[in-house]
Amino acid sequence: MKIQNYINGEYCDPVNGNWMDNYEPANGKVYSQIANSDSTDIENAYESAKAAFSSWSNTTIEERSRILLKVSELIEANLDRLAQAESKDNGKPLSLAKKVDIPRASANFRFFANAITQFSSEAHESVGLNSMNFTLRQPIGVVGCISPWNLPLYLFTWKVAPAIAAGNTVVAKPSEVTPMTAYLLGEILTEAGLPPGVLNIVHGEGPLAGQAIVEHPGIKAISFTGGTKTGEHLARTAAPMFKKLSLELGGKNPNLIFADCNYEEMLKVTVRSSFANQGQICLCGSRIFVEESLYPKFKKDFVEKVKSLKVGHPSKEVNLGAVVSQPHLEKVLSYIQLGEEEGGKILCGGSRTIVEGFEEGYYLEPTVIEVFDDQCRVNQEEIFGPVVTIMPFKDEADALAKANGVKYGLSSTIWTKDMDRIMRISKSIEAGIVWVNTWLNRDLRTPFGGVKASGVGREGGFEALRFFTEAKNICIKYEH
């Protein structure tokens, strides 16, 4: 099977005729070929996006909204097929893809179909100057969207839906590690009646196809989700060209657990926030800090619960499927080894899991490492797999210092019933998102993004529509 590009409303092969292998993480076997596109394909995608812009940006809000809603409905109608494709391509449990990934992809289109009908801009009357200012929010033109492998269709649609809702046309590249559902989306776009050229999907490697998007002088804005190092590189390329940039990058999110929390709820949710999607969610809490008095009990109960998690083939009823690729498996294993070398204690997991019948699959035991210094590398660097560290803290100030003692600042989770403490910590913690007594509780209207090395800019709600439009001030002087 060939995963082709979708340019100008049609599937096509990469011009250079190059393909690369696409692996199924559950069994480690190649199961399809991905277009290995280069700057020529990006140029073709750009030309078709450019040609479509004038008409699409002048299409009524109602019509754009109607088409986006249709895409949303068709994703929903194809739930089983898309969930199976996502699970096969990524290694995530099918149940998770059915419950989270694909419904969210549909919700993204539905949300922005509605949001664009409510989007408005400001007017400022300059009293005494006899003038009136209003802000015109215009689509930017051709924009680029680049997404990662952990939540493939979920994050791809989180970018492209607001981009086209706002009247832009798009050159988009999903991760070459998990291209399948973005490929299947092409059929849905055609069926929904999205005009050719409005959304072009090009597959290929980051340094080739991705880089060509970032370097293209006609692509005026880039919305990127991925690793911090890649984000740095992108910024270096795009900033001198004065492109608008939204960077959603890595994280090393803290969980602060106080002794007065709702213990059972905290324990249940902390297992999920540690290992959902094999720990491959940018919002997973990977550094768990627990108040000293609660620490021994937490350590015992948490490890016991983690040991009971089932790892297995993603099509079965399992808690964890396979991690996404062989190189990623090796990276995560090397961090577990590093954790030991640094003096950490592996409380459970720590090794590759062999699943009968799928011996070449990339399975890993959920791993808990007790660390004794919060500055050690396993506690500082993003592992992005089923590995968490645990460590006690003395008091609120110590908890906060540990939470902030890292270069990242994406999300954080606090477990406590003390409202004053909730407010104090929420204000001081260096993170774009603070969850209190909950995790991954998402309202799509809220601003989403990180601080420090976790990125620049906010997605979500009207923030995304603001990013994908350029504000122009019109000042009109009038006579009395």
Residues at the interface with ligand NAD (CB under 6 A): 146-150, 155, 173, 175-176, 206-207, 210-211, 214, 225-227, 230, 233-234, 248-251, 282, 382, 384, 410, 450, 454-455
Q: Is the dihedral of CA 124, 127, 129, 131 positive or negative?
A: positive
For ligand NAD, the closer CB: 169 or 411: 411
Please tell me which residue in 145, 261, 282, 376 is annotated as part of the active site. Answer: 282
Q: Report in angstroms how near the CB of residue 323 gets to ligand NAD at its nearest.
A: 12
Pick the closer one to ligand NAD by CB: 64 or 328: 328
Q: Give the shortest CB-117-to-ligand NAD separation in angstroms.
A: 26
Q: What is the secondary structure of 381-438 as a DSSP string?
A: S---SSEEEEEEESSHHHHHHHHHSSSEESEEEEE-S-HHHHHHHHHHS--SEEEES-
Distance between CA 34 and CA 24 in Å, rounded? 13
- Decide whether 234 or 355 has the Cβ nearer to ligand NAD: 234
Parallel, antiparallel, or unpaired for β 131-139 and 469-477? Answer: antiparallel
Instruction: Please give the residue whose beta carbon sits closest to ligand NAD in the complex.
Output: 206
User: Strand, helix or coil at 131?
Assistant: strand
> Least separation, in Å, of the C-beta of 312 and ligand NAD?
24
Task: Kindly state the tokens that stand for 263.
Answer: 């213990």
The answer to whether the beta carbons of residues 311 and 334 sit under 8 Å apart is no
C-alpha 144/C-alpha 218 separation (Å) is: 10
Length of the chain: 480
CB of 155 to ligand NAD, least distance (A): 6
In 38-137, where does DSSP find H-type helix?
39-57, 61-77, 79-90, 94-96, 102-118
**Angle of CA points 145, 148, 152, to nearest 5°:** 95
Query: Two tokens at 275?
Result: 């290992």
At its nearest, how many Å lie between ligand NAD and the CB of residue 383?
10
User: Which is nearer to ligand NAD, 65 or 389 (by Cβ)?
Assistant: 389
Least separation, in Å, of the C-beta of 180 and ligand NAD?
Answer: 14
DSSP 248-316: E----EEEEE-TTS-HHHHHHHHHHHHHGGGG-STT-EEEEEEETTTHHHHHHHHHHHHHT--B--TTS
* Beta carbon nearer to ligand NAD, 413 or 416: 413
Give min distance, CB of 282 to ligand NAD, in A: 3
Spatial separation of the C-alpha atoms in residues 97 and 321, rounded to whole Å: 11
The token pair that represents 356 in the structure block = 């009968």
Q: Is 248 a catalytic residue?
A: yes
Nearer to ligand NAD, 233 or 466 (CB): 233
Nearer to ligand NAD, 36 or 48 (CB): 36
- Active-site residue, selected from the candidate residues 86, 248, 365, 430: 248
The residues annotated with a catalytic role in the active site are 248, 282
